[in-house]
Each structure stands twice: as structure tokens, then as C-alpha cells.
Amino acid sequence: MITIPNLDMFIAQTCNLSCAGCQTLSDSRVVKGVTRYNAEYVEFWSNKIQPVNINMFGGEPLLNPDLEQWLSECRKHWPTSNLVIQTNGIRLTEQHLQWVDDYSLSINISQHMPEYGNTVWNFINSAIATGKFAPWTNENGLVQNGYGEQRGWINSNNCHIQITESFKETVWWSFYQGTSETSTPNYDYFSNDYKASWDVCGCRSFVNMFEGNLYKCPAVAGLLINGESLGLNEKTEWKGWFDNYKCLHLHSDDATIQEWFEEQRGPQSCCNMCARELDMHNQTEVNTKVKLK
């Protein structure tokens, strides 16, 4: 059994937003699809890996009609893992508060547009009104955003609700250059300094699962899963990733799994898609967003 810090369950390719700087290229205009629950995926990997955290991920996971089944079965097969929904918050309702109790679930909200703030805060206020949640503190004190405002609440089971108001941010980490169909990698796939990108990566502990196969990180998974819808597989700049990156396939043997995870923990050529220093980009273009009706 291999212990890993974070497993993202990539269960929604699409989103209900179109964010120019989306880490996973989940552009609502052209990227469609969800991954319906498949017991084979969970049953196989629950005998191979032990994630500390399991994140329901996309795209927007609340678009997946099987989300509750994903939660239920992950809780059954990985009873000690921290279970989390990573959502933009548009579709949150009081039903999801019941899921917090039913599945010992945490909810991370990344609010990308100010226009739906009432929906998000109605949900948070409903959670607080239950009397089950208190202000969340960690080793750094009260959990807050960059503006000193309280943005985390936690219950007696150590399940939390946290909000990041992404639309307020003035910079955006560069996973690639450009946006959606115009995106290009920061460096060529075969550039030999990929370690410099890996050294500053904030996502290197996140393995992604899509349709039972595992990918190095959210950015690599998003490119290879959603890139074809955007025509990126036809672009010369991205050819190295589509032709050379090897995901870990469902039903791989133990030796192959062990070898893949040993390689995954360090820098690889696929890291060349990202910047090699903390070169935060101005978010003016990133904040060009379109919400589906």
C-alpha cells in the first residue's frame, strides 16, 4: 500500500464557468462530460494506494449526477482519508450540508465571480446556523484570506468549510501561457531544466485519477484529458505531452505501480509546461469569465 498526500478524483471534465486561466482547461464553452461512478476504479486503487486527502475535482464536481455515490464509496473504501469537494460554489445547497454529516466531508469553495456571492454565503451562513461549525484555526491562527477576513469554519469531526474569493486575486500562477485554445507550454517538453519548474510547483503532491488512470498532477491531467476538446493535441507546441507522457493505467501490476509512483514524486519532463520561478501573471485576462445559464 502506497501512501500519497492527495488524490484528485477528476470526475467532471466540464464546468459551469469559463475561466481563462483554468488549471485544468475545463472551459464550459467547449469541454463537456462527467465520469459516472465506476466501482472498478475505486475497488482496484483502494487496494494499492492510501490517500491522506481525496478531493472531488474537475471542472465542477457538483455537475456530476453520481457525486454522492462517489463520496459514499470513497468513504467506504478509504475510511480514514479526509474527503473533500473542491467546488466553485454555484450549485451548493443545504443538501450538501447533510453530506458533511453523512460522509465526514469538507467543502473547499473557490469563488471565481462576485455575481454569485449570495449563493455561496447563504450556504456558509446555513452551515454556521446549525451550531455545528466554529471559526477554524490552524497552526497559523485563524484561517483567513489574504485580506485578513475569516474564511474557514470547522466542526467537531474536523470537517471544514473554506472559501477562497479567487476573483479578488490580482495575480494568477502560470501553469501555461495563453488561455484555453490559445495556450502554449512555458517550455518545450524536452527542455532539460524541468526540475526548476518542479521546485516551485504548488501541485506536486496532487495525483489525479481520471477514468481509473492516474496522472502526475492537475495541470498534466487537465491538458491530456481536456486538451483534445480544445484542439491542443493538434498544436506543435503540445505534441511532446500528448506523445510522450505516460499515465498509470488501471490494473497495472504492482511493480509498474511502484515504479510510476517513485518517478511521480520527483521532477519529470512534463513539468516543462509550467513556469520556473514564481512568475505570477496579472489576472486581468484570467478574470474574463462566462457563466452558463
pLDDT tens for residues 198-219?
Answer: 998 889 999 999 999 999 999 9
Residue span of the structural domain in which 59 resides: 2-291
Average pLDDT over residues 174-196: 90
Whole-angstrom Cα distance, residue 108 to residue 22?
A: 16
Domain count, the chain: 1
Q: What's the CATH number where 130 sits? A: 3.20.20.70
How much is the pLDDT for 171?
Answer: 64
H helix runs in 228-278, sequence order: 239-244, 254-264
How much is the pLDDT for 283?
Answer: 44
- The H or E element containing residue 2 is strand 2-12
* 8 Å CB contact between 6 and 82: no
Give percent of the chain with pLDDT exceeding 90.
73
pLDDT in tens, 108-166: 999 988 889 999 999 999 999 999 999 998 877 888 765 567 789 999 999 999 998 88
Cell reading at 106: 469538507
Whole-angstrom Cα distance, residue 49 to residue 71?
A: 17
Q: What global pTM score does this model have?
A: 0.92
How many C-beta atoms lie closer than 10 Å to residue 36's C-beta? 12
How much is the pLDDT for 148?
Answer: 62
How much is the pLDDT for 142?
Answer: 84
Whole-angstrom Cα distance, residue 6 to residue 264?
A: 13
| CA distance readout (Å), 149 to 67, 112, 220 | 31, 17, 33
**Which amino acid, 163?**
I
